[in-house]
Amino acid sequence: MNIYEKLAMQEEMISPGISACVGCNVELTIRTVMRVLGPNTILAIPPGCMGGVGVVGWDKKSGSKTPVFFPLLDNVASMLAGIKLHYEHIGQKVNVVAFAGDGASADAGLQCLSGAAERGDKILYICYDNEGYMNTGYQRSGTTTKGAWTSTTPVSRQGCGGKKQDKKDFPMIMAMHDIPYMATCNPAFIKDMVDKVEKAMAVEDGLAFLYVYNPCLTGWGIQSDKSIESARAAVDSNFAPLYEVINGTFKLNYQPKETIPVKNFVSYCKKFSHLNDLEIENLQQQTDSKWHRLQMLCEMG
Amino acid sequence: MPEIKVQNGNMAAATGAALCRPDVIAAYPITPQTPVVEYLTQFKADGEIESTMSEVESELSAMSVVTGASLAGSRTFTATASQGLALMYEPYFRASTLRLPIVMAVVNREMISPQTLWGGPQDALCVRDAGWIQIYVEDNQEILDTIILAFRLAEDKGVLLPVNVCYDGFYLSHMSERVEVPDQASVDAFLPHYVPEHIKLDPVRPMSVDPLTNGYLLTEYRLRHTQGHQRALKLIDELDAEFANQFGRSYGGLVEEYCNTDSDAVLVTMGSMTGVAREAVDLARARGRKIGLLKLRAVRPFPGARVVKAIAGRKAFGVVDRSVSFGWGTGITFREIRSAMYGEGSNIPAVPMIGGLGGEDVTIEHMMLAIDCIYQAVESGLSNETVWLNKEIDIM
Amino acid sequence: MKYISDYIVPIGPEGLYIIDTGKWRTRRPEMDIMKCKKCGTCFLYCPVHAVKRHEDKSYTIDYTYCKGCGICANECRFDSIEMIPEEGDSDA
């Protein structure tokens, strides 16, 4: 069965009308992922974009055909662990899934996620990294790229500023927890994403973690029709590579036929428009050294 | 057949919890609660309980795991103390507003700063308005019994609220007493199986839990929450009678009165210091004073009617608090009792007293002093400034 | 006491919350069937899953919730989708 048949066959689990931004690739991600996960899923959506657009619903209605709820920003993994423990206790199989932003995963919720990973709680944790707290007005997070404009690391009237600190390499942090399955995904690579969701669903001996790199149209200043193109550029420039870590073994999933300069990726985003050549060169160097590190890890076998 | 054992407060709590067959337990160790976690994990290792356990990495996770499990449909138990209770405040508030019948033992410990480990109910009293039911107990037998009662109370379809069973750190947690442990069959008969109907995360019955909610709906949920507390007010007394019938032990329900029928003044205490208070009341009575004792058990829901009934018509009352209500300068339960006395009994002189903070002993001398202060108020007909029992004071 | 809600806790068991996002559009995608090579790219990338796949492996756009983002037009390798100004509402 090809990817088109597979996706067309599955029922849409999320409400057809949610107030995500026009062209939002996080909306694309959650719809795709939920088609694969299916109805036997309990979905946790912490405060953030997907919660804000109505995936958890409003008043007495829901945004999902599956059970869905709002955990707190800082306890997503722990609440899911508790839910999963109940179903293990009664011997029932259920997909227990988080769809959480970088704020709830790499910042406020990191402790709970790290604890759940270490304990081997059998949950599927999907983190969508749009590099900031986008739902509340694009505030910076630990995974915001260095130099990026955010509402809490703004650019001065003179044209300099942006976040001073480097981007936290969050998928690597999760990989170093030695969980059974860690994989990075991208909305421009749907078949790869679907394959990874299926692999993650099949994990039975610990936490499965999927990291999706989602360029945020409204927060980064990207044209809506370039939503997928900019995401693809992130992969083709090695800025957000696609790789898997299966029981500690690193595997590169995609090598661009022709690597493009990071500058090309940066040019899609207004949030980088104030960067000078030196700052862009710095980003290129960082990307190159991280890519090198990744290749070394993949070679270790 | 019940068994007589020698148990410290923590063991009594762990035993009580184990007898209630929780499905999921998650707790993080903190002095003086740590042995509760250790005993429960030992029970599990020895195959004495079938609960699924999770050794979480902080109290935030402990309450979160337990909330998640309860949402999915488990009967759950956890325990904590002071700093841990503070750390879990975010999910703690939610546990009551989602109407989850979680039972949590709080081994009352003074809040830092200054750096302290020792017993006192400041921790749980500070969060008394987060919607949980709170019951404070006096001895180890009461710990065990109240935990069993707590599950029955929490899971009642008219209540559906989480319950704190609070007991003094070190005074009870680490002190051994004679405890009668009921047999499993008796507890099973008292405590039916838990099946949630009002809220559940289950693919068989999909619903969204806690969607964004408008104010007019939130108002309704708050109102219904208060009704849960109203139901608990009645049920706590009813269950005490039922428990007494089945197990032979009664604690008075919401409050307990001791030597109070013919009293002309009332001493009010809570927690382990009540034991000393009873001795002091006996001593004072032997010396001719008709003092009565009111032991406060439930702080939430607050037993206003029963407090008024115990104090109305007396010539003064005094409350010995092991806590501080900053900004009022009195103890915390003093304020609650004073509020309840508004209306009938509002002109009765009231003596706020604070003692035993930071784990300091509240001795029989302190209690006799407390009774003296109450009788001063009887004579003068006036309320007092706060008496700090552990400091040097002048008695006029 | 009369209540608006039957529930004692915040739950949403009364079906899906659906926003009429079709009304957001300021431009709409028009597909040229002659140019369409049925590659399925638009189907994969439409964020609201407005592109439907049929039994005969052809694809059409359902305008009910389409927000007019332009991803389908941008990603189509065969120039078969064009974004044109929206006129009227989603069932026009």
Residues whose CB is less than 8 angstroms from the CB of residue B378 and which lie 6 or more positions away in sequence, other chains included: B264, B265, B315, B316, B349
* Shared domain check, B203 and B300: no
Going by C-alpha positions, the residue among B52, B378, B372 that lies closest to residue B387 is: B372
pLDDT band at B392 (very low <50, low <70, confident <90, very high): low
* Shared domain check, B357 and B232: no
Q: Nearest-CA residue of chain B relative to A113?
A: B61
Write the CATH number for C66. 3.30.70.20
Give B286-323 pLDDT, tens digit per residue: 999 999 999 999 999 999 999 999 999 999 999 999 99
Residues of C in contact with A16 (CB under 8 A): 16, 18, 48-49, 64-65
Residues of C in contact with B99 (CB under 8 A): 8-9
Give B269-284 pLDDT, tens digit per residue: 999 999 999 999 999 9
CA distance C40 to C51: 9
CA distance C80 to C70: 12
Going by C-alpha positions, the residue among A71, A27, A171 that lies closest to residue B68 is: A71
Residues of C in contact with B199 (CB under 8 A): 9, 11
Written in H, E and C, the secondary structure of A179-204 is CCEEEEECCCCHHHHHHHHHHHHCCC
Residue C17 lies in a domain: no
- B391 or B60: which leads in pLDDT: B60
Total count of domains within chain A: 1
Structural element, H or E, at residue B292:
strand B291-296
Q: Do B99 and C13 touch (CB under 8 A)?
A: no
Residues of C in contact with B205 (CB under 8 A): 13
Residue B161 lies in a domain: yes
Is the separation of the CB atoms in A219 and A206 below 8 Å?
Answer: no
Residue B394 lies in a domain: no
Find the range with the poorest average confidence among A4-18, B1-15, B122-136, B338-352.
B338-352
Which of A2, A3, A4, A21 is the mutation pick for testing C, counting most C CBs within 10 A? A4
Write the CATH number for A114. 3.40.50.970
Backbone angles phi, psi at B363, to 5 degrees: -90, 175
* Domain residue limits at B286: 255-388
Structural element, H or E, at residue A233:
helix A227-236
Which of B44, B50, B61, B220 is the mutation pick for testing A, counting most A CBs within 10 A? B61
Total count of domains within chain B: 2
CB atoms within 10 A of CB C23: 12
pLDDT band at B346 (very low <50, low <70, confident <90, very high): confident
Residues of A in contact with B67 (CB under 8 A): 79, 82
Give the per-residue pLDDT at B396.
Answer: 41
* Shared domain check, B186 and B61: yes
CA distance C61 to B77: 52
CA distance B226 to B300: 11
Written in H, E and C, the secondary structure of B2-71 is CEEEEEEHHHHHHHHHHHCCCCEEECCCCCCCHHHHHHHHHHHHCCCCCCEEECCCCHHHHHHHHHHHHH
Give the per-residue pLDDT at C91.
Answer: 55
Tokens of B330: 């009195």
Tokens of A128: 């969508």
Give the residue numbers in C contacting B (CB under 8 Å), as ranges. Answer: 3-5, 7-13, 17
Residues of B in contact with A74 (CB under 8 A): 60, 90
Give A216-273 pLDDT, tens digit per residue: 999 999 999 999 999 999 999 999 999 999 999 999 999 999 999 999 999 999 999 9
Distance of CA A100 to the CA centre of its chain: 8
* Shared domain check, B164 and B229: yes
Which of C19, C63, C76 is the mutation pick for testing A, counting most A CBs within 10 A? C19
Å between B48 CA and nearest CA of chain A: 16
pLDDT, mean over chain A? 97
Is the separation of the CB atoms in A102 and A17 below 8 Å?
Answer: no
Residue C46 lies in a domain: yes
* Domain residue limits at A178: 3-299
Residue C15 lies in a domain: no
CA distance A9 to A59: 31
The domain boundary, picked from B221, B247, B273, lies at: B247
Q: Nearest-CA residue of chain C relative to B215?
A: C10
Residues of A in contact with C52 (CB under 8 A): 8
Where helices occur in chain B by DSSP H, the ranges are 9-19, 34-45, 59-72, 82-87, 89-97, 122-126, 140-155, 184-190, 215-247, 274-286, 304-311, 332-340, 364-380
Measure the N-to-C terminal CA separation of chain A; round to a whole number of Å: 30
pLDDT band at B395 (very low <50, low <70, confident <90, very high): very low
Which residue has 């983190």 as its token pair? A127
Which of A14, A21, A28, A217 is the mutation pick for testing C, counting most C CBs within 10 A? A28
Å between C14 CA and nearest CA of chain B: 8
Q: Nearest-CA residue of chain B relative to A116?
A: B56
Structural element, H or E, at residue A219:
helix A217-220
Backbone angles phi, psi at A184, to 5 degrees: -100, 145
Which one of B160, B198, B211 has the shortest CB-CB distance to C12? B211
Residue B395 lies in a domain: no
Which one of B210, B213, B220 has the shortest CB-CB distance to C3? B220
Total count of domains within chain C: 1
CA distance B180 to B139: 12
Tokens of A80: 């899911």
pLDDT, mean over chain B? 96
Which one of C8, C12, C13 has the shortest CB-CB distance to B224? C8
Does the pLDDT of residue A130 top 70, yes or no?
yes
Q: Do A69 and B209 touch (CB under 8 A)?
A: yes
Å between A104 CA and nearest CA of chain B: 14
* A9 at C interface, C-beta within 8 A: no
Q: Do A85 and B54 touch (CB under 8 A)?
A: yes
Q: Do B68 and A94 touch (CB under 8 A)?
A: no
Does the pLDDT of residue B158 top 60, yes or no?
yes
The subunits that touch chain A, with at least 3 C-beta pairs less than 8 Å apart, are B, C
Written in H, E and C, the secondary structure of chain C is CCCCCCCCCCEECCCECCCCHHHHCCEEEEECCCCCCCCCHHHHHCCCCCEEECCCCCEEECCCCCCCCCHHHHHCCCCCEEEEECCCCCCC
Tokens of B359: 């784990």
Find the range with the poorest average confidence among A282-286, B112-116, B168-172, C3-7.
C3-7
Going by C-alpha positions, the residue among A237, A236, A239, A242 that lies closest to residue A212 is: A242
User: Beta B3-8 vs B176-181: how paired, if at all?
Assistant: antiparallel
Give the residue numbers in C contacting A (CB under 8 Å), as ranges. Answer: 5, 7, 11-22, 24, 40, 43-49, 52-53, 57, 64-65, 67-71, 73-75, 83
Does the pLDDT of residue A126 top 50, yes or no?
yes
Is the separation of the CB atoms in C48 and C3 below 8 Å?
Answer: no
Give the per-residue pLDDT at C89.
Answer: 53
* Shared domain check, B347 and B327: yes
Going by C-alpha positions, the residue among B138, B154, B248 that lies closest to residue B192 is: B154
The domain boundary, picked from B206, B224, B247, lies at: B247
Residues of A in contact with C47 (CB under 8 A): 20, 23-25, 27-28, 31, 227
* Shared domain check, B159 and B268: no
Give the residue numbers in B contacting C (CB under 8 Å), as ranges. Answer: 97-99, 160, 198-199, 205-211, 213, 216-218, 220-221, 224-225, 228
pTM: 0.95
Give A26-81 pLDDT, tens digit per residue: 999 999 999 999 999 999 999 999 999 999 999 999 999 999 999 999 999 999 99
* Shared domain check, B286 and B195: no
| DSSP assignment letter at A101 | E
Å between B332 CA and nearest CA of chain C: 30
Question: Please, is B27 exposed, middle or buried when counting C-beta atoms within 10 Å of its C-beta (0-12, 13-18, 19+)?
Answer: buried
Which of C3, C49, C56, C72 is the mutation pick for testing A, counting most A CBs within 10 A? C49
Write the CATH number for B232. 3.40.50.970
pLDDT in tens, chain C (92 residues): 788 888 999 999 999 999 999 999 999 999 999 999 999 999 999 999 999 999 999 999 999 999 999 999 999 999 999 999 987 554 54
Which residue has 């499965």 as its token pair? A208
CA distance A62 to A56: 6
* Domain residue limits at C71: 23-85
The subunits that touch chain B, with at least 3 C-beta pairs less than 8 Å apart, are A, C
Nearest-5° Cα angle at B234, B231 to B240:
125
Give A161-205 pLDDT, tens digit per residue: 999 999 999 999 999 999 999 999 999 999 999 999 999 999 999
Residue C60 lies in a domain: yes
The domain boundary, picked from B247, B273, B306, lies at: B247
Å between C21 CA and nearest CA of chain B: 19
Distance of CA B199 to the CA centre of its chain: 26
Residues of B in contact with A72 (CB under 8 A): 64, 90-91, 94
* Shared domain check, B302 and B192: no
Q: Do C8 and B213 touch (CB under 8 A)?
A: no
Is the separation of the CB atoms in B14 and B43 below 8 Å?
Answer: yes
Which one of B208, B218, B220 has the shortest CB-CB distance to C11? B208
Residues of B in contact with C3 (CB under 8 A): 220
As a whole-number percent, the residues of chain B with pLDDT over 90 amount to: 95
* Shared domain check, B10 and B154: yes
Which residue has 């609201």 as its token pair? C48
Residues of C in contact with A190 (CB under 8 A): 44-45
